[in-house]
Amino acid sequence: MAEYTLMFRMKIHEGKVDKFLGIMREITEHTRKEPGNLVFELRSDPRQPNTFIGFHSYVDKAAFDVHYNADYHLGNGPGLRECIAEIETTELGSVGYSAVLMNKAGC
């Protein structure tokens, strides 16, 4: 089983940030409950207004694929695409352990 992590960077159209954040709150709630989801984070870029960076990790690619095909996913949910001016994604490889899981386990 190989952990699968995807990082994303999104630039949001002027005037659409509040709508974007509202939709992302709902997506985050769903995503964090998915079987196989290890972490889902969204952060703002303080140097670039309207830019957000996030990442999500899953126990494996199959678990990510379930997320990707969900009704609430980025490309499937109503309204989100109209908020996004630019999007870039990067797959990240595992180094063999997860500090997030170590922290959750009380290490």
- What is the model's pLDDT at position 16? 95
- The CATH number of residue 60's host domain is 3.30.70.100
| Domain total of the chain | 1
- What is the model's pLDDT at position 51? 97
C-alpha span between 13 and 97 (Å, rounded)? 36
**Structural domain boundaries enclosing 24:** 4-104
- What is the model's pLDDT at position 76? 62
Residue 39, SS3 per DSSP: strand
pLDDT tens digits, 31-62? 899 999 999 999 999 999 899 999 889 999 99
C-alpha span between 107 and 30 (Å, rounded)? 27
- Take residue 32 and report the two structure tokens written for it: 């964090």
- What is the model's pLDDT at position 26? 87
Task: Tell me, yes or no, if the pTM score tops 0.85.
Answer: no
What are the average pLDDT values for consecutive 10-residue runs of the chain, which has 107 residues?
Answer: 86 95 89 91 92 92 88 72 92 68 54
